[in-house]
Amino acid sequence: MTDIAAVAGLKTVLAEIESAEKEAGRSAGSVRLVAVSKTFDADAIRPVIEAGHRVFGENRVQEALAKWPRLKNEFPDLELHLIGPLQSNKAKEAVALFDVIETVDREKIASELAKEMRKQGREPRLYVQVNTGLEPQKAGIDPREAAAFVARCRTEHGLAIEGLMCIPPADENPGPHFALLEKLAHEAGVERLSMGMSGDFQTAIAFGATEVRVGSAIFGHRDYTGG
Ligand SMILES: *Cc1c(COP(=O)(O)O)cnc(C)c1O
């Protein structure tokens, strides 16, 4: 896909979000689009920023460091979300670069983030990732422990958790996973739900998503061969 195609993709996705909001009886603008730019370089991302979009997601700290500091300098109102697993030795860089970290999923990460946030005087907004499908290869906390973990983030680490995030198993109907995340958010007393990707964001909106993370429907097919 060319750059122009990415802008067309953005407009299509925004229109689809708007009709999904309407269909679900939700107010216009209640769902935010996180444009997932992983594997795409700054030249591919820039037209989407210039078209007015400001919220982006990356899944790797190292990759994000290579392109976003410069773009953030140029466009100070950008909002960057970390949507991939976080290693504790990257907490420092993650706190310095990201505005939202969606993948808090264990005690060690919570305590490293708390420490870095104090040190740097930065307060990225935080989500807890839940492994709704209990997939061994996937990050995220066990759904049965989610509410207690959110509570411990508050009481033991002084972290305000804003929402929950999930990535349903690729080969399952996502609806039940979205419904579970909504229920857990209610139990945990958090407001926001990051769920839904290119293939299922309309479904996620019907189940209450407040952020959808959409990559290929905007930027096109990802080529991983370059590493
Ligand atoms: C890549 C990725 C997305 C976007 O996936 P698409 O299917 O391209 O929309 C969303 N969420 C996470 C966590 C991702 O890693």
Map tokens 């370089």 to a residue. 41
Expressed in angstroms and rounded, the spacing between residue 218 Cα and the centre of ligand 1 is 11
Nearest C-alpha to atom 10 of ligand 1 is from which residue?
Answer: 213
Question: Up-side HSE of residue 102: CA atoms within 13 Å toward CB?
Answer: 26
Q: Which residues contact 183 (CB under 8 A, 6 or more apart)?
A: none
pLDDT per residue as tens digits for the range 126-165: 999 999 999 999 999 999 999 999 999 999 999 999 999 9
- CA atoms of 12 and 88, how far apart (whole Å): 37
Atom of ligand 1 nearest to the CA of 102: 13
Distance 120 CA to ligand 1 centre (A): 29
If you measure from the C-alpha of residue 60 to the centroid of ligand 1, how many angstroms do you get, rounded to a whole number? Answer: 12
Determine the atom of ligand 1 nearest the C-alpha atom of 214: 9
Instruction: Calculate how far, in angstroms, residue 53's C-alpha sits from the geometric centre of ligand 1.
Output: 17
Question: Do residues 166 and 197 lie in contact, with contact meaning Cβ atoms separated by under 8 Å?
Answer: no
Q: What percent of the chain has pLDDT over 90?
A: 96
- Does the structure show a pLDDT above 50 at 227? no
pLDDT bracket for residue 171 (50, 70, 90):
very high
Could you give the percent of the chain with pLDDT greater than 70? 97
Question: pLDDT tens, 90-128?
Answer: 999 999 999 999 999 999 999 999 999 999 999 999 999
Note the pLDDT of residue 3: 53
